[in-house]
Amino acid sequence: MELVSGKGRSVPKSAIREMFALQAQYDRVVSFALGEPHFSLPEHIRQAIEDSLRRGETHYTPNSGIMPLRRAISEAYERERGLSYLPEETLVAPGAIAALHLTVSAITDFGDEVILPDPGWSNYRGLMIQEGLVPVPVRLREENRFMFDPADLEAAITKKTRAILLNSPSNPTGGVADRKNLEQIAALALRHDLIVITDEIYRELIWTDEPYVSIAEFPGMRERTVIIDGFSKTYAMTGLRLGYAVAPLELMQTMNTMLENVYSCVGESVQWGGVAALTGPREPVEAMKAEYQKKRQLVAAGLNGIPGISCLPPAGAFYAFANITGTGMPCRDFAMELLREQQVVVVPGTGFGAGGEGFVRLSYATGEDTIREGIDKIGAFVHSRNG
């Protein structure tokens, strides 16, 4: 008897987790694998969580989250971004990925097509397949600073297309969509009557001088956009599992009904941690951002100093997407042999879609010494191949 469904069998394994598992074979590795802040939880957030536990808040909460958190999200969006959403137009989830899952369930019917960035975060493709949807990858090119080319997007739209998924700043490329690009995508979404899901989890980690732009800001887009956001990256809260979606009320009401069937609610103490994150001091976030800036420069300069490797300065997030075509090696061989010979872990670009061939991803959310050692070892590896 076959226990696993066809869709279950079709879900691809995560290349990031695969590399993470392989590194366990070695006593010591230099790892650029995981997209996870290495900072500790800011003290005021820890305090808020502990206070909540001491108050005995260990019970169910309203499905979409406690009102103080939903209000804090709504106020932060208005204050920091000029985006007006009612608290009722927010929904709290155990991580941005859960908010995305719920969004996809609520807006699609089986067999709908969803356009995804390629390269793009690998979970997008897996999630679409397990939801019975058809992922449609559209190539992002380095020469276009890893933004969608509107002509490529338009060519991928069919009668079955339901949504376009954007991710800016991007995992894995570190690319950030500019205003003109988003305006063109918005025009396409309006013309073809599509929903846009915009995964903005890295929006505070932005290294360009331009202010962050969301596609939800363009005329006619608020009504057809779902914003996915969360606390994991900005506040070093990955393991606490706290994310949210922001969308028009009508959709939120359905998502609220649907979430009862999947996770009921998020732990109340963690939600109070989210309130503290949004309403408390900004210094811890600014300090983490200053560190990322330094590391970003270190990693980009280091990679660009290796003959055969080049890397655009990452515009956002904490990933460098290094072009290794000059080494003549396919990216998977590069990653595997680098691990075997130098015990350095990078993720092959094809782990993020076929469009990632010729690239490897390095997460620089790690210590400066690790970055220096890793870059030296990558240099030695490439040199040994060329020499």
Ligand X SMILES: Cc1ncc(COP(=O)(O)O)c(C=O)c1O
**Residues in touch with ligand X (CB under 6 A):** 35, 95-97, 121, 167, 171, 199, 201, 230, 232, 238, 243
CB of 137 to ligand X, least distance (A): 15
Instruction: For ligand X, give the closer residue by CB, 275 or 329.
Output: 275
The C-alpha atoms of residue 338 and residue 109 are separated, in whole angstroms, by: 43
CB of 368 to ligand X, least distance (A): 22
Instruction: For ligand X, give the closer residue by CB, 232 or 350.
Output: 232
How far from 382 is each of 53, 55, 172, 294, 334, CA to CA, in Å?
52, 56, 22, 24, 9
Instruction: For ligand X, give the closer residue by CB, 129 or 306.
Output: 129
Residue nearest ligand X (C-beta atom): 95
The C-alpha atoms of residue 288 and residue 271 are separated, in whole angstroms, by: 22
> Tokens for 90?
């927010």
CB of 232 to ligand X, least distance (A): 3
Instruction: For ligand X, give the closer residue by CB, 148 or 381.
Output: 148
- How are beta strands 225-230 and 243-246 bridged, if at all? antiparallel
**Which burial class, exposed, middle or buried, applies to 14 when counting CB atoms under 10 A from its CB (0-12, 13-18, 19+)?**
middle
CB of 387 to ligand X, least distance (A): 36
Instruction: For ligand X, give the closer residue by CB, 63 or 234.
Output: 234
CB of 177 to ligand X, least distance (A): 13
First to last CA, the chain: 54
CB of 303 to ligand X, least distance (A): 20
CB of 182 to ligand X, least distance (A): 17
Residue among 328, 319, 267 at smallest CA distance from 69: 267
Instruction: For ligand X, give the closer residue by CB, 222 or 361.
Output: 361
Residue among 173, 94, 104 at smallest CA distance from 141: 173
- How are beta strands 319-323 and 359-363 bridged, if at all? antiparallel
Helices (H), the chain: 6-10, 15-23, 43-54, 67-81, 96-107, 122-130, 150-156, 179-191, 249-259, 268-279, 283-304, 331-342, 368-386
Please name the amino acid found at residue 14. Answer: S
Instruction: For ligand X, give the closer residue by CB, 232 or 342.
Output: 232
CB of 34 to ligand X, least distance (A): 8
Instruction: For ligand X, give the closer residue by CB, 198 or 342.
Output: 198
Instruction: Note the residue count of the chain.
Output: 387
